[in-house]
Amino acid sequence: AGRCVVAVDGPSGSGKSTVSRRLAVSLGARYLDTGAMYRALTWAVLRSGVDLTDIESVAKVAGEVDLRIGTDPQGYGVTADGVDVAKEIRGPEVTGAVSAVAAVGAVRELLVARQRQVIADAGRIVVEGRDIGSVVAPDADLKVYLTASEAARAQRRSAEDAADVAATAADLARRDKLDSTRKVNPLQQATDAVVLDTTELGIDEVVARLRALLSERG
């Protein structure tokens, strides 16, 4: 099987991660969670103790940290300077700070370059994030933009995190606003993306639709 790049974008809780991993497994492809890269870098920034609003210092930490991420859709590791951060990057500290770090231009430049390298090396890969179809892989074979109602997204995320639905809804709304209004590479629908509302769809159904779209395109 030849090169195949699938870009999956959308807001938090839209089902991106589950769908992207399942799709990658079914295609025998690699998988890249770009959100995990922004989260791991945020972990390093928090550890360094620099002020999040001090853009130059944040950029400096970003340039110095040794960030590694796996691409196995059935389980990938994430390390920052050799520390396994897989668990911490899902915690409230990182989640609370990641959108600010991800808004820094120098941080995005660095991670976008890394992401393009991973894509080139893998050849067949499903990549999920916020700016994949628009910026990271504009030449992707398939671009998908997943959405879901705010209620469904909050429900899913709070179930995953065993957290309170109202608090989760507030956090999602806060991050979405930051992610879609930032100046550099905001969350946006690529003009040629297929939009799928997953509110009423099961995961298997979404994956099947994406597979059908891919085979239509040869």
Q: Is 147 annotated as a binding residue?
A: no
Alpha carbon of 137 to those of 90, 131, 133, 182, 183: distances in Å? Answer: 25, 8, 5, 20, 19
Answer for which of 85, 98, 104, 196 binds ligand C5P (CB under 6 A) is 98
Q: State how far the Cα of 98 lies from the Cα of 41, in Å rounded to an integer.
A: 8
Q: Measured from the CB of residue 136, what is the shortest distance to ligand C5P in angstroms?
A: 7
Q: Is 87 annotated as a binding residue?
A: no
**Residue number, 27 or 40, with CB nearest to ligand C5P:** 40
Determine if 88 is a binding residue for ligand C5P (CB under 6 A): no
Q: Is 48 annotated as a binding residue?
A: no
Determine if 34 is a binding residue for ligand C5P (CB under 6 A): yes
Determine if 45 is a binding residue for ligand C5P (CB under 6 A): no
> Of 6-25, which residues contact ligand C5P (CB under 6 A)?
12
Characterize the bridge pairing of strands 124-129 and 4-9. parallel
Q: Is 18 annotated as a binding residue?
A: yes
Q: Measured from the CB of residue 95, what is the shortest distance to ligand C5P in angstroms?
A: 7
Q: How many CB atoms lie within 10 A of CB 4?
A: 18
Q: State how far the Cα of 45 lies from the Cα of 22, in Å rounded to an integer.
A: 31
Q: Are 153 and 14 a contacting pair, CB within 8 Å?
A: yes
Which one of the spans 23-31, 32-40, 43-51, 80-88 is the region binding ligand C5P (CB under 6 A)? 32-40
Q: State how far the Cα of 132 lies from the Cα of 60, in Å rounded to an integer.
A: 24
Answer for which of 102, 144, 169, 193 binds ligand C5P (CB under 6 A) is 102
